[in-house]
Amino acid sequence: MTQMNRQRLRITFAKGETLKYISHLDLARAWERALRRAGVPLAYSQGFNPRPKMAFAAALPVGYTATAEMVDILLEKPLVPLELAHRLAVALPPGLQVVSIKEVDLGLPALQSQVRAAEYRVSVAWTGDRADLEARIAALLASPTLPRERVRKGRRRAYDLRPLVEDLKLEDGDAAGYRLWMRLHHGAGGTARPEDVLDTLGLVDVPFSVERTGLRV
């Protein structure tokens, strides 16, 4: 197969409630199998154990839903994005849905290295006072630094959460709780998780759910 015909497509997709407990590796396998069912001419790596040429923008933590995740796939033969969308519509399992597909330049750097920020909508089952919550958010945003620790591979590491919180808003609330929207830095320079923000806001031991609504590249 010549390299010349190759095509790189960027699929934006949603991962729904029914699939939120599957891990990133499981998701990658589910995508490979769906693309095979769809008869898509995926390019494979050479070697003893051929792997499909697929690259995700960012692993989604287990338990999150998402509305705009991204994966780049490399095809041996070009395919019209709309045609791929039609084929995937009947090959994707319930819980995975294509939002959009576009062709991207073969020469662009890896998708993963391009992600700068991630946006989240977080629902917390906290029924305290709205003004109180707004004050906590304002205090967080007004802090010059937010020193925290995280444990990674058994090693404690100090970091500053504040520069990683690019934006944080209270969207709305009702009897069941509140919905927050946040944009957190992702990739080079540090990655924050919504749980870090909830913790800093004092919303601990409260049931919550997270939806990743966008990845900024």
CB closer to other proteins out of 166 and 195: 195
E strand residue ranges, the chain: 7-15, 54-56, 65-75, 96-104, 117-124, 147-152, 155-160, 165-174, 177-185, 208-216
**Residue 29 found at the interface with other proteins (CB under 8 A):** yes
Query: Is residue 88 packed enough to be buried (19+ CB in 10 Å), middle (13-18) or exposed (0-12)?
Result: buried
CB closer to other proteins out of 25 and 142: 25
**Residue 6 found at the interface with other proteins (CB under 8 A):** no
For other proteins (CB under 8 A), the number of binding residues is 35
Cα–Cα dist 164/186, whole Å: 8
Q: Which residue from 115, 119, 126 is spatially nearest to 199, judged by alpha carbons? A: 126
* Interface stretch with other proteins, choices 67-75, 78-86, 89-97, 108-116 (CB under 8 A): 89-97
Cα–Cα dist 86/98, whole Å: 10
**Residue 63 found at the interface with other proteins (CB under 8 A):** yes
Q: Please report, as residue ranges, which positions from 144 to 173 form the binding site for other proteins (by CB under 8 A).
A: none
**Residue 55 found at the interface with other proteins (CB under 8 A):** no
Whether the CB-CB separation of 156 and 139 falls below 8 Å is answered with no
For residue 17, the minimal CB distance to other proteins (Å) is 6
**Residue 34 found at the interface with other proteins (CB under 8 A):** yes
**Residue 100 found at the interface with other proteins (CB under 8 A):** no
Per DSSP, the chain holds a count of helices (H) and strands (E) of 5, 10
- The 9-28 contact track toward other proteins, x by CB under 8 A, reads --------xxx-xxx-xxx-
Residue with tokens 């997709």: 13
* Interface stretch with other proteins, choices 34-42, 99-107, 129-137, 153-161 (CB under 8 A): 34-42
**Residue 36 found at the interface with other proteins (CB under 8 A):** yes
CB atoms within 10 A of CB 118: 27
Q: Tell me which residues touch other proteins (CB under 8 A).
A: 1, 17-19, 21-23, 25-27, 29-30, 32-37, 39, 41-42, 44, 48-50, 52, 62-63, 76, 91, 93-95, 207, 209
